[in-house]
Structure 1
Amino acid sequence: MKVIQYVSIFFCFFTTALYSQNESNITYGLKFGALHSKISNLPESIKGRDNTFDNSVMQSKGTYGLEGGFFLNFKLHDTRVAIQPEILFRQSGEKVSYRDAVGKEFELGLNYSYLEIGALYKVYPYEGLNLGFGAFYGISLSPNNVTYTSNEAGGMYDVATRQFYQDGLNGADDFSLCFAVGYELHKSIHFDMRYYLGVKDVVNSNASSFQFIENQNKSSVFCFSLGYSFHQW
């Protein structure tokens, strides 16, 4: 229900901008990019109090994903400053690999999707070069999308083990600060690189499953994107 409310607010905002585009410095368009994401402290959360993990190694590997959606850009009159609200779909998460002294190996993936709603404050120090800072709230769309593959008995127990992880690790909404640098070309094309720094726990652990420990698991995302503006200043 809250997803519908957030989307409705944004599209009301978007429609207003379309009607007013000839009277103000407003652009709008689409952007699409690739990203690499990580979630902090995940091995520590998973190991918990199970001593059988003592002779093991569990490492975070990060995961690749996509990000794309709509943006509006309001350039303040007679300034080199703009406000850019956005609504984006993002795929991000984490993968961890495990191996122990007896040869067992597995890979666990948290494959989360979010509806990201936020805005950037952008400064243009030189022509199309811009620096941005903002914040985004990510509404979790797939809190239980977990993958699990192992070499144990040829993967015979993978389905059951994946269900245990799905029951024990629940994805939560995200909130992150965004730092961006980009360049806007004269023909409506623009590029940007971003770093999203998560400030909220994005994994809720069920302590009764697998002896998981509740921990602060925060996201970090690097993203490179390409955008196109349909209306120029």
Structure 2
Amino acid sequence: MKVILHLLIFGCFFSGALYGQNETNITYGLKLGGLFSKISNLQESIKGRDNTFDNSVMESKGAYGLEGGFFMNCKLHDTRVAIQPEILFRQSGETVNYQDATGKEFELGLHYSYLQIGALYKVYPYEGLNLGFGAFYGISLSANNVTYKSNEADGMYDVATRQFYKDGLDGTDDFSLCFALGYELHQSIHFDLRYYLGVKDVVKTNSSSFQFIENNNKSSVICFSLGYSFHQW
């Protein structure tokens, strides 16, 4: 099923591009930006069923990352509407801080990477100002990129504990809706602010001694990027 979905997405990408050669004005370019991301309900998944966590505090801190890649903007003939398919690389995830009554502290980070494939439907209400809505499917590239740092025995057990988290938590593919606000200058420079709303569980829990709880963990990402178009309208 996953393979079929990937093929459908690629098919839409390239068929849209071929159609656009006859009916649209096409520009293409590269973009790069920074982002801040979170994963919902991660604290509940990690706390599990261990009673020693009862007097603890676990806070979500989010994670910073990068997003960049290739875009193709196909502006429909004689309209203020465009279809913009994209292939992007994205780093996102979550960081949580833990403290309990015994003085134990640790920081756990899930640092996931994705190949993002999708498209935006863009409307230009005034000159280069544009509003966009679309969807992106993220193919997981790093399901077990986990960091763990603690004050327990000066970090003596950090490597072993990190392995428990790597074995118990797997990053999965992501699917998100995208809402965008952008502006395109005549000099081919683009500014883009986006919010990605995840609609799919991105963390799968496995059987382990930590007894993680399977939960619905969805991503949310805010991204600001700068793009350059190689061809103007």
Q: TM-score range by the shorter chain?
A: over 0.9
Look up the match of 2:69: 69
DSSP-derived class of the 1:25 partner: strand
- What pairs up with 1:144-155 in 2 under 5 angstroms? 144-155=144-155
**Displacement of 1:102:** 1.1
Deviations along 1:149-195, whole A, 9 cap, x unmatched? 00000100000000000000000000000000000000100101000
- Answer yes or no: is 1:215 the counterpart of 2:194: no
Identical counterparts, % of pairs: 81
Q: Which residue of 1 aligns with 2:14?
A: 13
Q: Is the 8 Å Cα contact of residues 167 and 208 (structure 2) preserved in structure 1?
A: no
Conserved in 2, the CA contact under 8 Å of 1:207 and 1:213? no
TM-score by length of 2: 0.93
Task: Write the mapping of 1:92-111 to structure 2, written as runs, cut at 5 A.
Answer: 92-111=92-111
**Shift of residue 207, structure 1, vs aligned partner:** 4.0
How many residue pairs match? The answer is 231
Tell me the secondary structure at the aligned position of residue 86 of structure 1.
Answer: strand
Which residue does the alignment assign to 1:172? 172
Tell whether 2:136 aligns with 1:136.
yes
Kindly indicate whether the alpha-carbon contact (under 8 Å) linking 1:37 and 1:93 is maintained by their aligned counterparts in 2: yes
Counterpart residue number, 1:78:
78
**What amino acid maps onto 1:73 in structure 2?**
N
Residues 207 and 214 in structure 1, CA contact (< 8 A), matched pair in contact too: no
CA contact (8 A) 1:174 1:200 kept: yes
C-alpha RMSD of matched pairs (Å) = 2.4
What is aligned with 1:45?
45
Deviations 1:33-90 (Å, cap 9, x if unpaired)? 0000000000000101111000110011000000000000110111100000000000
Partner SS for 2:14:
helix
Does the 8 Å contact 1:114/1:139 carry over to 2? yes
Correspondence for 1:121: 121
* 4+ aligned runs moved over 4 Å, structure 1: none
Gaps of 5+ in 1: none
Contact 1:167 1:209 in 2 (8 A): no
Q: Is the 8 A contact 2:164 2:208 kept in 1?
A: no
Paired with 2:213 and 2:68, the residues of 1 have a C-alpha distance of: 33
Secondary structure of the structure 2 residue equivalent to 1:52: helix
Q: Deviations over 1:172-228 (max 9, x none)?
A: 000000000000000100101000000000000114440100000000000000000
Gaps of 5+ in 2: none
SS of 2:52's partner is helix
**SS of the residue aligned with 2:210?**
coil
What is residue 202 of structure 1 aligned with on the other side?
Answer: 202
Give SS of 1:46's match: helix
